[in-house]
Chain A
Amino acid sequence: AQSVTQPDIHITVSEGASLELRCNYSYGATPYLFWYVQSPGQGLQLLLKYFSGDTLVQGIKGFEAEFKRSQSSFNLRKPSVHWSDAAEYFCAVGGKNSGGSNYKLTFGKGTLLTVNP
């Protein structure tokens, strides 16, 4: 069964500091990996995704993530955080099931990011 672990429930950083949000996954084959951001009461906005190829992927808003197969990780990074980055961040894993007709996503529990001025 596929699963995602986001070990940090809440992270606080100062504006301008660097950020790393951790994500570990369990998946039986090559995974598709995603990071989404959600502001309070809002929908899910895709930050970036990994399907194949270069293991360092660039996303929107200056975010990047690195797929490390040996560590089953897909950590999200940003070199300099802005106050507007305060939100909840979800990592998700998906892919074809054995029947080949489904790509359901399994989400982690999320990491809430607070940015101090």
Chain B
Amino acid sequence: EPEVTQTPSHQVTQMGQEVILRCVPISNHLYFYWYRQILGQKVEFLVSFYNNEISEKSEIFDDQFSVERPDGSNFTLKIRSTKLEDSAMYFCASLDYYGYTFGSGTRLTVV
């Protein structure tokens, strides 16, 4: 069964550093998403990406965040200057007619 692959599974970074979270969505999907789950809380929508551009973003997705699909395969989330409150599990997802497929997540720890 096709999978959404996320790397790394766990990343520790110092406050103020830039991080890039990587995702390989399912190849024939057209819609791509990033979601975030702070420990013990619900999963929150960050951003959706369609036709090579952001189609919607939440208020969480401020100027520190950016997304790219540089080569038609990878889908990345960049956080320019991490803050302690960015510590969370980040999920990538892609969508086709049959529904969402989520990756297994990247746990980001900002120290």
Contacts and interface: CB of A to CB of B under 8 A. Distances in A.
A90 B31 contact: no
**How extensive is the interface on chain B, given as a class?**
20 to 34
Nearest to A6: B42
A34 B42 contact: no
Interface string A83-107: 0000000101010010101111111
B50 A46 contact: no
B74 interface: no
A42 interface: yes
Give the interface SS of chain B, mostly helix, strand, loop or mixed. strand
A92 B45 CA distance: 11
A43 B91 contact: yes
A110 B44 CA distance: 12
A43 B100 contact: no
A contact residues, range: 20 to 34
B50 A49 contact: no
Contacts of B43: 44, 90, 92, 105, 107
Interface stretch (B18-26, B63-71, B78-86, B101-109): B101-109
A44 B91 contact: yes
Nearest to B39: A41
A105 B45 contact: yes
Interface of B: 31, 33, 35, 41-45, 48, 50-51, 55-56, 91, 95, 99-105, 107
Interface of A: 32, 34, 36, 41-44, 46, 49, 51, 90, 92, 94, 97, 99, 101-110
14 contacts: A36-B102, A42-B105, A43-B91, A43-B104, A51-B99, A92-B43, A97-B56, A101-B51, A102-B50, A102-B55, A104-B33, A107-B42, A109-B41, A110-B42
